[in-house]
Structure formats: C-alpha cells, structure tokens
A = this chain, B = another copy of it.
Amino acid sequence: MSQPATAITPTREQDFPEWYQQVVRASDMAENSEVRGCMVIKPWGYGLWENIQRQLDVKFKETGHVNAYFPLLIPLSYLEKEAQHAEGFATECAVVTHHRLEAQKQPDGTTKMIPTGELTEPYVIRPTSETIIGAAFARWVESYRDLPLLINQWANVMRWEMRPRLFLRTAEFLWQEGHTAHETSEEAMEEARTMHRVYADFLRNHLAIPVIPGEKTERERFPGAVNTFTVEAMVQDRKAIQAGTSHFLGQNFAKASGIQFLGRDNQREHAWTTSWGVSTRLIGTLIMAHGDDDGVIVPPRVAPHQIVILPVTPKPDTRQEVIDACDALAQTLRTQTFGGEPLRVHVDKRDLQGGAKNWEWVKKGVPLRLEMGPRDITSRSVAVCRRDLGAKSKEFVPKEDLLRNVTEILQEIQDNLLARATALRDAHSKKLESLDEFRAFFGTAGDESKEISGGFALMHWAGNSEDEERLAKEFKTTIRCVPHGDEYAEEGTCFLTGKPSGRRVIFAKSY
C-alpha cells in the first residue's frame, strides 16, 4: 500500500482552508448536500455530536434546566418586536410563504409540483428562538412564584449563509439554545455567567480546547442583548473561533414579548431573561484545533469509538481465532469506564486490506487503535497505536498492561491534546503596544486566505465601535472578547486612541 507522506493533501501549512475541507471529507464526518449551504452529518460526525449532546445535557440538568420543544416556524411579526434583534437577523432567513403543493401530471407522464395555498402571514424558519419562546414564557409566567424558568431546547436552526463551510457556517445547523427568565437582574446575570462557565469547562475538559472566557464589546454583541459572554478558541491557523455564547438580555426581550410577573411587592414587572447556545460548530472547532496532516484527532471524551480493534488476519485458518480474541478483548475493555461512561470499543471485522482499514481510522481520528494478530495471541501482546503521537506511532505492550492502563492512556491522550492546543495558543498570544506592532502582527505578505500568521493580539483598548469598525476594515480583525482573567487587568494606554485603559482586550482574525 503506497501512502503519500501525509494522508491529507494539502498540509495545514500549505493551505489551511483547503486542508480543512479535505480533512472533513477524509474523516467522513459530513458532506455538502444538494440543498444550498445545508450539510449531511454522516454517522461518524453525528456520533460525535451525540456524545457532545449527551454530556452537555447532563451539565444542563445538573444546573437545574429542563428540556422542551418550541415551533420551528416563527410568525414574521414576532421578529419585528425587538428592533435590534430584527435588524440583526433580517438578512438571512428562510421564508415559508405557501402551505400546499399540487401535483400536476405532465403530458410526458412525469409529475410537476406547484406551490399553492399562499399564507396570509409568512413564517420564517427559526434562526434562533428568543421571540417564539418569549411568547410562551409570557403565557406561562404570572407571579414571581413561576420564576425562574430554566428551559433548554435541542433543535435545528437556519440562517441563510452566502459562504457556507461544513460545521463552521452552514445554512442549517444543530444546536441547543437555553432560555431562562428570572425575577431579578442579579439572578439573570448569575445564570448567564453560570452557563458561560459550563461552556468553558466543557470545551476544556471534554473537547480539550482551552478557551478564553470574556465579554463581547457592544459591536459584537448578540442583537438585542445587554451583555454577551463568549468563549473564544484559537485554532491551528491562529484564527479565533467563537465556540459558545451566553447572553444577559436584561428586560429587552421580556418587554418585546410581554413576559410580566406579579412581584413580591404586588407590582407587575418585566422578567429578566438570558439565552445561551452552542452548536455543531463545536465539531469544526475541534477539527481545526486538533487535526494533523493525517486527518482528524478526536479527544477520547467525545470520540464515537474511543478504541478501534483491528484484527490482523494474514491466513484464513487463523482468522476466526484472531477475531474471537479481538471480540473478547473488546468485551473486557467495555467493562471499564472513562469520564463516567463505559468505554466505546469497536472491532473492525470488515474484509478489507489491513492498511486501508488502518488509514481509515487514522483519518477519522480514533484516539486509540489496537492491532492483534496470531503471533500477538501467542505472546499475549497487543500493538497500541496512539493517534495523538502520529499516524505511525505503534508500541507492543503485554495485554495485561493494556487492560490495567487503558483509561490512563486515554486520559494522557486527552491531556496531551489540551496541552498542545494550550501551547499553540500561548505561543501566538502577544502583548502589543502600538499600531505598528499590530500591523506587523496581522499584516500578510502573500495570499492572505492561505497564510498562517497573527494570533491573539492582547491590546490596551479604549476605542469605540467606529474605531473597531476601522480596524476590522483594514486588518480583518475584531475584538474577540474583553477577557475576564486577572492576568488581563493592568494599566496602560489604548494603542489606537492613546486613552487610558485598565484591561487588555483580544484582537484576532476569526471564523
């Protein structure tokens, strides 16, 4: 079997955007569909999403939330209620205008479908559900005793994207959207901060992605929000990805939707609401954070299979014995747990060439591959291939050692991925002081779309939205967040305006 030096062409260094397309294709996680901007999430990608979903759902329930489901369609008039929200989501909605089709038989025997039954008020497919869930909350809440309402929805949403990219930016995507209503501003703010922490922890401990928690500036806020908390990841081309957001909505949406309650003082007042969400974009973030030039690398906590066992069957007469031994090993492994869940082990018994099979799992990013052949059965050993150490990493270990250490090995892989992503981020996060340094950091020489440069620029800042706009136009950079950590608090001078600043913000190019 001849393999190129790397399984993915081009490499990350050569052309990162094209590497991403190729690595998604090679991993068989998703593909473009014939519906503009809509993807098909294939079983390997969906299996990853199922794990993300299940593990996040546990955290949502631990923090007191329950799931519910609200209509896919939103009356057009609902979007008109909150003016900023309306403008923010105005340009990208799928609009339903008819509710009937008539099948017309054609002279050639084929059938043609004609839309009929025009709706008096069109609907949009939800781009987000603040307005429709707000209307439900307005029905449900009467007194302070009905609060807090702590609801989450797992759903599909649609935003018509002109430049779609698998997982990162698609017209339809899957997500969860939390929506909560509270009696006081303080309680709602605490909720928004709690979910912000849940996201940061999940990214770090489950996806092995170190994120910088912080707040958006006014320019970058969710349309209609008072405050948007964000977790920002750096991926391998040094760009930022907004991996999740949690919004404190003040009373804006409560006023737009009429969520009122009788308070403890017997006065009617508007509730304080939040919303928060992460989406299938997490999968794109994970691929860009951890993948190498041989394919995807999936962190063990969320891998659909954490371990794939590859039976090595050189001769027909020992084939069954090897397969039985692999099945037995899988059964034993499945009795162990990792991250509180039984180990997910798959035995690949397909009648394919061993090398082809092996490369398939390399490209899919299975954390641990185990090979076992007739000689290994005799010597009671297993070939252990750690994906994080490279496609060709292989070590023969006694089977007993493997069984004793397997969850430690998985944790090592998980830790190693986090350490590498942290090292990358730290290596490309720089405190800069002047516009010249800023220009040198983000300036590009050649084809900007392919070049890997820049990173997180930690800047003193005291500018306004117009200043941000100017920098965005010139450098394609935005303020990713005003980070929360103490290490960002220091006195200095805004690099653009020269005004005093008490905290550095993070500028970066982003997805």
Instruction: List residues of chain A with CB under 8 Å of any chain B CB.
Output: 31, 33-35, 38-43, 46-47, 49-50, 66-77, 79-80, 83, 86-87, 89-103, 110-113, 115, 117, 122-125, 132, 135-136, 139, 151, 155-156, 158, 160, 172, 174
Contacts and interface: CB of A to CB of B under 8 A. Distances in A.
B96 A67 contact: no
Contact of A67 (B43, B79, B132): B43
- Give the residue among A31, A49, A125, A151 with the most B Cβ atoms within 10 A: A125
Contacts of A42: 68
A46 B69 contact: yes
Given A39-B71, A40-B70, A99-B160, 8 more contacts: A33-B71, A38-B71, A38-B73, A80-B111, A80-B112, A94-B99, A96-B125, A100-B160
Nearest to A124: B101
B115 A122 contact: yes
A73 B94 contact: yes
Given A101-B79, A158-B72, A94 B93 contact: no
Given A47-B66, A172-B71, A87 B103 contact: yes
A132 B39 CA distance: 12
Contacts of A115: 76, 95, 97, 122
A125 B72 contact: yes
A509 to B, nearest CB: 27
A87 B101 CA distance: 9
B68 A43 contact: yes
B91 A94 contact: no
Nearest to A123: B35
A135 B101 CA distance: 21
11 contacts: A31-B136, A35-B75, A38-B73, A40-B69, A41-B70, A46-B68, A76-B113, A80-B111, A90-B113, A91-B100, A93-B100
A39 to B, nearest CB: 8
A31 B42 CA distance: 34
Contacts of A93: 99-101
Given A70-B33, A75-B35, A79-B113, A94 B96 contact: yes
Contact of A34 (B75, B76, B91, B97): B75
A111 B96 contact: no
B90 A40 contact: no
Contacts of A155: 156
B87 A111 contact: yes
Contacts of A86: 103, 111, 113
Contacts of A38: 71-73
A53 to B, nearest CB: 10
Contacts of A40: 68-71, 136
A156 B72 contact: yes
Contacts of A156: 72, 155-156
A95 B99 contact: yes
Nearest to A157: B72
Contacts of A124: 101
A93 B92 CA distance: 22
A151 B99 contact: no
- Give the residue among A100, A113, A151 with the most B Cβ atoms within 10 A: A113
A254 to B, nearest CB: 17
B47 A67 contact: yes
A43 B66 CA distance: 6
A35 B71 contact: yes
A73 B157 CA distance: 12
Contacts of A123: 35, 94
Given A95-B98, A99-B94, A135 B43 contact: no
B100 A97 contact: no
- Give the residue among A93, A96, A132 with the most B Cβ atoms within 10 A: A96
A316 to B, nearest CB: 19
A279 to B, nearest CB: 13
A100 to B, nearest CB: 6
A233 to B, nearest CB: 23
Contacts of A50: 67
A31 B100 CA distance: 25
A42 B43 CA distance: 30
A288 B92 CA distance: 42
Nearest to A42: B68
A89 B67 CA distance: 31
A103 B125 contact: no
A91 B112 CA distance: 13
